[in-house]
């Protein structure tokens, strides 16, 4: 998945932003999958945790999703019955829906600069307001909200975006849409608007599904407002973006064997299987932070999270590089990480030499940034020096 903005957005000026909700600003797909899995299991079916089914459901109205599931899993119920059952479960779960990386930052930024923001979601109005109620400050950020049950046709029809523009008193050509689904991208483009796609679908599956978007990003962390004539973010520190810190750890294991042998960069690999659910919450990209290694000390790190397009990993991995020369290996030793900043999205490279050059550039960025606040303040965090069993 391309992580850099498409060239189509150059010299494009917009003065209104219209956002999708589910999968773009908040992660509701994870909760819905839990509910659907329980329902199909009740009927003796096995839920498929892959991106193929997600492609068919993403961006659709709830009844359309229910109809798709009834057909795909050959369920002995109607779409209306499945929808009613699923809603009875999810209405109590919205408090667990997490804001996606960069969502709150984007809303605060646009609101601070008085950029009119609209929300256009295929979800019913009642559900939209229930979800927003658990995200502090979000509801008042939107000048208009258009729900799927307030228009005749949902996405991929452009109706919902045209209605949002009408209520904003904006020309469609002056609106920027940010969407996570191929269905939403089609709707935004059909409305005559510029569209930034931030795919919810795993990157390997999604590569060909978002070609209609003007720009495709790995996450909202990569959104650059100035490319669209909007005020730029001013929160980067030393070429890195401060983020809400997250921690992980485990024993150092042998990885692919390419860190030292192929790249000349000795990464300290952690067991991906044990970290799978945690990694799924974080976008692919290059991060910086601090590492505590057994009794050796605390060190600066630069770290990749993702599928590593150049090597085309089969699974999402985390590969931290401790920016220190060690005299020996430390396989089996306990490694604790605090990730505190974001450098760039995951990217592919045309040659191994270019990949190695960029990794070293990332390392230099990390080294310099970690000497600055707020990054430097985490060097003394107790998590780094307290064994995981005692946390």
Phi, psi of 330 (to 5 degrees): -135, 40
Q: Whose CA is closest to 307, among 348, 264, 275?
A: 348
Beta bridge partners of 336: 249, 292
Report the chain's terminal Cα–Cα distance, integer Å. 37
Catalytic entry in 27, 319, 346, 362: 319
Active site residue 20: yes
Whether residue 265 is preceded by a cis peptide bond, meaning omega within 30 degrees of 0, is: no
Q: Does the annotation mark 22 as catalytic?
A: yes
Catalytic residue status for 361: no
Compute the distance between CA of residue 162 and CA of residue 154 in angstroms, rounded to an integer.
11
Distance CA 300, CA 322 (A): 6
Q: What totals of helices (H) and strands (E) does the chain contain, helices first?
A: 12, 13
Helix 182-190 / helix 159-168 crossing angle, nearest 10 deg = 60
- d(C-alpha 295, C-alpha 144), whole Å: 55
Catalytic position from the list 20, 179, 214, 362: 20
Q: How far apart are CA 231 and CA 236, in angstroms?
A: 14
Sign (positive or negative) of CA dihedral 117, 122, 126, 127:
negative
Instruction: Please answer whether residues 391 and 381 qualify as being in contact, where contact means their C-beta atoms are separated by less than 8 angstroms.
Output: no
CA distance 178 to 20: 6
How are strands ordered across the β-sheet holding 334-345?
Answer: 241-251, 334-345, 285-293, 297-306, 317-322
Q: How far is CA 292 from CA 203, 274, 302, 369, in A?
A: 31, 19, 13, 18
Q: How far is CA 285 from the centre of its chain?
A: 10
- The dihedral over CA atoms of 165, 187, 100, 318, expressed in degrees to the nearest 10, equals -150
Catalytic residues, by residue number, are 20, 22, 319
């Amino acid at each position: 998945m391309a992580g850099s903005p498409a060239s189509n957005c150059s010299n494009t000026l917009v003065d209104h932003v219209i956002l999708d909700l589910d999968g773009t600003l908040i992660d509701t797909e994870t909760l819905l999958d839990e509910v659907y899995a329980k329902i199909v299991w009740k009927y003796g079916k096995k839920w498929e945790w892959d991106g193929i089914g997600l492609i068919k459901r993403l961006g659709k109205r709830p009844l359309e999703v229910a109809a798709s599931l009834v057909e795909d899993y050959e369920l002995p119920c109607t779409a209306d019955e499945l929808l009613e059952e699923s809603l009875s479960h999810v209405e109590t779960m919205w408090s667990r829906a997490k804001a996606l990386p960069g969502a709150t930052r984007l809303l605060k930024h646009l609101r601070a600069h008085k950029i009119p923001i609209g929300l256009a979601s295929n979800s019913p109005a009642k559900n939209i307001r229930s979800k927003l109620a658990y995200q502090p400050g979000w509801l008042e950020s939107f000048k208009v909200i258009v729900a799927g049950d307030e228009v005749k046709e949902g996405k991929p029809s452009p109706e919902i975006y045209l209605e949002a523009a009408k209520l904003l008193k904006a020309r469609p050509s002056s609106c920027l849409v940010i969407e996570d689904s191929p269905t939403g991208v089609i709707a935004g483009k059909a409305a005559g608007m510029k569209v930034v796609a931030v795919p919810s679908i795993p990157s390997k599956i999604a590569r060909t599904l978002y070609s209609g978007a003007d720009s495709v990003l790995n996450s909202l962390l990569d959104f650059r407002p100035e490319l669209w004539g909007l005020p730029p973010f001013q929160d980067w520190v030393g070429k890195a973006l401060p983020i809400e810190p997250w921690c992980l750890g485990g024993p150092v294991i042998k990885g692919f064997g390419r860190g030292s042998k192929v790249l000349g960069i000795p990464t300290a690999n952690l067991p991906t299987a044990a970290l799978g659910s945690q990694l799924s919450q974080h976008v692919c990209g290059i991060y910086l932070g601090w590492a505590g290694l057994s009794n050796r000390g605390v060190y600066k790190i630069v770290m990749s999270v993702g599928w590593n397009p150049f090597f085309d990993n089969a699974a999402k991995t985390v590969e931290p590089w401790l920016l220190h020369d060690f005299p020996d290996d430390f396989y089996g030793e306990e490694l604790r990480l605090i990730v505190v900043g974001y450098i760039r999205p995951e990217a592919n490279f045309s040659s191994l030499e270019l990949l190695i050059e960029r990794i070293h550039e990332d390392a230099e960025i990390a080294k310099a940034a970690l000497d600055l606040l707020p990054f430097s303040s985490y060097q003394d965090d107790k998590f780094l020096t307290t064994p995981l069993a005692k946390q």
